[in-house]
A and B are shown apart, each in its own frame.
Chain A
Amino acid sequence: NAGVTQTPKFQVLKTGQSMTLQCAQDMNHEYMSWYRQDPGMGLRLIHYSVGAGITDQGEVPNGYNVSRSTTEDFPLRLLSAAPSQTSVYFCASSHWDIQETQYFGPGTRLLVL
């Protein structure tokens, strides 16, 4: 199993550009989530999904969109990048419940100029 994969590993954007961060898992996990990690702060939840076709907002959803058309994929879209979205983004997945063991992707480092 590849586990949780994320692409790209690193990206530089200009303010106003849009892009999609990819996340995929091959463990047939129902639960998937996106976090951002900023210096001096803990991981913060952006969006999450409890299954295909079902998504919900986390703590910091503004400026981000998600969709879950398949069990395997959970892309995160930045609609119009801002310097405040410079961060490291992690995708995670688990079997059906947040109380199950969480599996994290390797992260995407995003720099918005």
Chain B
Amino acid sequence: KNEVEQSPQNLTAQEGEFITINCSYSVGISALHWLQQHPGGGIVSLFMLSSGKKKHGRLIATINIQEKHSSLHITASHPRDSAVYICAVRLIQGAQKLVFGQGTRLTINP
């Protein structure tokens, strides 16, 4: 079993819908990253969380350390949000390393 699991693996929605992508992990962590990989392959960092909630534009990321779960929400989704969203965690007992989920492929249709 992977230490970091994302769901769903694939998600297709209509423009304007509210999107939720989930990330669950099985070990203690000190930080969690959400990344976006564009169709062209480039990867950008969206959020780093160690507790609570962060918001940037239409994107909201939350984390519940006790439940070992994080969610990425997109409000008023747009076709340009189509990408692969990746969750990555730093393990508490780990060194300077990230463990990645397999990613969620999001497609927003106009």
Task: Please list the residues of chain A having a beta carbon within 8 angstroms of any beta carbon in chain B.
Answer: 31, 40-45, 48, 50, 56, 58-59, 88, 90, 92, 97-104, 106-107
Contacts and interface: CB of A to CB of B under 8 A. Distances in A.
Given A42-B88, A59-B97, A99-B50, 13 more contacts: A41-B102, A42-B100, A42-B102, A43-B100, A48-B97, A92-B43, A98-B31, A99-B30, A99-B90, A100-B48, A101-B45, A102-B35, A104-B35
A58 B50 CA distance: 23
Nearest to B32: A99
A44 B99 CA distance: 7
Contact residues on B (Cβ < 8 Å of other chain), bracket: 20 to 34
B93 interface: no
Contacts of B86: 42-43
Interface of B: 2, 4, 30-31, 33, 35, 41-45, 48, 50, 86, 88, 90, 95-103
Contacts of A88: 41
Contacts, number: 58
Where chain B touches its partner, the secondary structure class is strand
In this complex, the member of B33, B90, B97, B101 whose beta carbon has the largest number of chain A beta carbons within 10 angstroms is B97
B102 A103 contact: no
Given A99-B30, A101-B48, A106-B42, A43 B90 contact: no
